[in-house]
Amino acid sequence: MDFFSTLQEGQVSEELLQLVRVLIVIVIGLPLLVILRRTLSRYVAKHYSPHYGMLSGKIFFYIGVTILVVTVFHELGFSLTPLLGAAGILGIAIGFASQTTISNVISGFFLIAEKSFVVGDVINVQGNVGVVYSIDTLSVKIRMFDNRFLRVPNETMIKSEFINITRFPIRRVDCNISVAYKEDLKRVSEVLFDVAEKLPYSLQEPPPLLIFDKFGSSSIDILFVAWTAKENFLKLRNGLNMGIKERFDKEGIEIPFPHVSVYAGSASNPLPVDLLSSEKKVFSASKNIE
Amino acid sequence: MHRHRIGPLTIFLRKLLNEIWVASSRDEKRKGEPDNLPDKPEWVRMALPGEFRVIRLAPVLPDRPVVIDTEHAYRFMSQTRTKVYSRIPAFVRITPASREDLIIAEIPSVVLSETWFGIFTEGELSYSLSSTARRILTDDLLEPYLVVCPMEIRNNSSDELKFEKVCLRADRLSIYAKDNALWADETVITYNGMDSETHMEMKGVVPGEAAGASLVSRPRSPVKRSMGLKTFKLLRDFHIPGF
């Protein structure tokens, strides 16, 4: 009897010890993993790029969690071989049930490998523009400029077109300008190049360019483009548009409003206009309305 | 408040306990006396780790490469060497006299336009110098805020060298002063052909034209005596449709 009770007590204390070891592994291991992940992410982000920081943190964390799970199973006395076999069968079942999720995970790998964009890039996904906040297992998180949060599934990102606005170091600012038909286009051109030259963040090379667009219904339409470092894009766009308006006003160059000419049957004859007062008195007038 | 004029730039300095207040204005038309404080000066306040009674204003070269136009489009025949001079407007570095590592501010004497030196997908943001590189330098071209940079260009290739612009790595040059003029050390640019890198060598000594000049500021970046760099602007880079 004494022997059996001693054996049972020994078994209990062994199980308790096992449980304590598992708890220690979890309690110490998990926070340690989180702290190390954060430290590694910050270090890599600081010395290389935020994208690599995020990536290294994730890889480190997933490897760490796998090791932790294996250790816990080992401590609990589970053999991993039958588990892996079961996981294979279970994996097929789960795979069928969660095709979208798995597609997102695999798409995520391709997105990271392809490097079409990295954390910190400004991208335009189907009209939504924002800064890439993170590239996660299932989705890409974007902080939009109005501070809304956009989540795009990795699968959607792989399938759809998107524009990486900040991929290249310099950007072009387009100004669509209309001037009246009476204006001297040579003078207009001189003024536009002068405005661009006076803005220090408008790059000298590649040089600004003036493109004659078309003879519009009310104006001559011009496209004027200038280049700037990507971080100065908004500064240049505002500077150019405001500068052009200011100089046009100063130089007396007309930016026309839409014109509509109304004719009463013939271009040569004036259009008769009758003005009626509230007392129904009738006045006659003839005017060209332009 | 103290006012100092350096070329078109006037710097205003004010001291309050361990704080230095800095403001600036530019007037390219007037010469001589410093400007009056603008109506709404944009003061920059800097708290220093102690009280410093003497403040130093020193010329330094710009913090980015400078792209310089040659006077006219140049063609260098094979095995030709020539010397050109360019004048780069200095930045004014403000530090406590006893602690030159504490940079209070750096203000350009002339606001330089930006330019891109490279191709559409990669390159360097640089400053563009509207004043041209000259073959002959006369005394009237020396100004106390313009740093004269002598450059010797050697075409060691068997091809003809064509270039319109040259990119000078100003951050690797020192400044020397002599007779109210500022000089940078001489740069030797050696072109070895399209398939080889262009070598740029900073001599790191006072140029012969300014013998006896004294050193006033060291280079921003450590001097590598010889560098293989993209220096000449390849004309084809921006003349493919960049639209």
| Digit-coded pLDDT (tens) for A181-236 | 889 999 999 999 999 999 989 999 899 999 998 898 889 999 999 999 999 999 99
Compare CB distances from B114 to A168, A203, A211 and report the shortest one's residue: A203
Task: Give yes or no for B241 touching A (CB within 8 A).
Answer: no
| Digit-coded pLDDT (tens) for B100-116 | 889 999 999 999 999 99
CB-CB contact of A178 with A255 (8 Å): yes
Banded pLDDT at A1 (limits 50, 70, 90): very low
pLDDT of residue A11: 63
- Mean pLDDT across the stretch A63-87? 80
Nearest chain A residue to B123, by CA: A169
pLDDT of residue B115: 92
∠ CA A133-A138-A141, rounded to 5°: 20
Inter-chain residue contact B115 with A228, CB threshold 8 Å: no
CB-CB contact of A151 with A139 (8 Å): yes
Compare CB distances from B116 to A211, A225, A227 and report the shortest one's residue: A227
Banded pLDDT at A290 (limits 50, 70, 90): very low
- Mean pLDDT across the stretch B121-145? 83
Task: Give yes or no for B232 touching A (CB within 8 A).
Answer: no
∠ CA B183-B188-B190, rounded to 5°: 160
Residue that has been written with the tokens 């200095």 in this structure: B90
pLDDT of residue A90: 76
Strand B105-108, strand B44-47: pairing? unpaired
Compare CB distances from B116 to A197, A206, A225 and report the shortest one's residue: A206
Nearest chain A residue to B239, by CA: A206
Task: Give yes or no for B164 touching A (CB within 8 A).
Answer: no
CA distance B70 to B168: 12
Least confident of B37-51, B111-125, B196-210: B196-210
| Digit-coded pLDDT (tens) for A47-73 | 877 778 888 888 888 888 888 888 888
B70 pLDDT above the threshold of 80: no
Task: Tell me what ipTM this predicted complex has.
Answer: 0.76
CA distance B70 to B88: 13
CA distances from B25 to A225, B9, B59, B60 (A): 31, 6, 17, 18
| Digit-coded pLDDT (tens) for A238-280 | 999 999 999 999 999 998 887 777 766 665 666 666 777 655 5
Beta strand ranges found along chain B (DSSP E)? 2-6, 9-16, 19-26, 44-47, 55-60, 66-76, 80-89, 91-96, 105-108, 113-118, 123-133, 146-155, 161-168, 175-178, 181-184, 187-191, 198-202, 214-217, 226-229
Nearest chain B residue to A203, by CA: B115
B225 pLDDT above the threshold of 60: no
Name which of A167, A174, A204 to mutate to probe chain B: the one with the most chain B Cβ atoms within 10 A of its Cβ: A204
Inter-chain residue contact A205 with B112, CB threshold 8 Å: no
- Mean pLDDT across the stretch B111-135? 85
CB-CB contact of A123 with A129 (8 Å): yes
Please give the mean pLDDT across all residues of chain A: 84
